[in-house]
C-alpha cells in the first residue's frame, strides 16, 4: 500500500490532534472527568533534537548531583531543570476543546483561554502527554506508559 501524504503535510505548520483524559477536582473527594482534544504543532525535528538533548544533559547533571554531594548545578541549569514540560509545550498548543462556560455555551479557543487553561494544574499532565506524544510520533497511551515507567 502506498503512503498517502496530504497537502497539509507539505505545509510549514503541521499539527496533530490527540484526545486526553483529564480529571478536574470536584467538591469533596469527587473527580470530574473530561476528555479534551488538544491540537499540537509538530516541532521542527532539529528543534526537537536540541530540546531532548538539553533534557538529557539536565538529567545527567541531576544524576551527578545525586551521586556527588559536593556537585551543584549552576542557577541557569537548575532553573531550566525545574521548568515543567507544559511550559515548553505552550507555544505549540494550537487548540484545546471542547470548552464551555457555566451555562454550557461554547467558548472559542484563543490565546487568553489557552493562558487560563495552562495555569490549571489538573490539565497540565494532559497537555504534557499530548505535546510529548505528538513530538515523539506516538499515541497518548504509549506516552502514559513511558511516563509511568519514569
pLDDT tens-digit series, residues 82-94: 899 999 999 999 9
Q: Is the pLDDT of residue 30 over 60?
A: yes
Cell numbers at 143, concatenated: 506516552
Closest of 131, 119, 124 to residue 18, by C-alpha = 131
Q: Which residue has the higher pLDDT, 149 or 84?
A: 84
Q: Residue holding cell 499515541?
A: 139
C-alpha span between 86 and 8 (Å, rounded): 26
Question: CB neighbours of 8 closer than 8 A, spacing ≥ 6?
Answer: 14
The number of beta carbons lying within 10 Å of the beta carbon of residue 118 is 17
Distance CA 85, CA 46 (A): 18
pLDDT band at 127 (very low <50, low <70, confident <90, very high): very high
Whole-prediction pTM value?
Answer: 0.79
> 118 near 124, Cβ under 8 Å?
yes
What number of other Cβ atoms are within 10 A of residue 145's Cβ?
11
**Which has the closest alpha carbon to 85: 37, 133, 39?**
133
Distance between CA 21 and CA 130 in Å, rounded?
Answer: 10
Which of 13-17, 91-95, 138-142 has the lowest average pLDDT? 138-142
Query: What confidence tier does 56 reach under pLDDT thresholds 50, 70, 90?
Result: very high
| Per-chain mean pLDDT for the chain | 87
The pLDDT value recorded for residue 66 is 84
Query: Which cell goes with 1?
Result: 500500500
Amino acid at each position: 500500500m502506498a503512503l498517502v501524504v496530504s497537502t497539509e503535510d507539505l505545509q510549514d505548520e503541521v499539527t496533530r490532534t490527540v484526545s486526553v483524559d483529564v480529571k478536574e477536582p470536584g467538591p469533596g473527594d469527587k473527580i470530574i472527568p473530561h476528555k479534551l482534544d488538544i491540537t499540537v504543532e509538530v516541532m521542527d525535528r532539529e528543534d526537537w533534537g536540541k530540546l531532548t538533548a538539553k533534557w538529557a544533559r539536565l538529567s545527567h547533571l541531576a544524576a551527578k548531583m545525586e551521586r556527588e554531594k559536593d556537585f551543584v548545578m549552576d542557577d541557569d541549569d537548575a532553573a531550566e531543570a525545574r521548568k515543567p514540560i507544559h511550559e515548553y509545550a505552550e507555544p505549540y498548543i494550537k487548540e484545546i476543546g471542547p470548552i464551555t462556560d457555566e451555562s454550557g455555551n461554547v467558548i472559542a479557543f484563543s490565546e487568553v483561554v489557552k493562558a487560563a487553561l495552562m495555569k490549571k494544574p489538573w490539565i497540565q499532565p494532559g497537555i504534557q502527554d499530548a505535546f510529548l506524544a505528538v513530538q515523539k510520533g506516538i499515541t497518548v497511551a504509549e506516552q502514559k506508559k513511558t511516563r509511568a515507567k519514569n
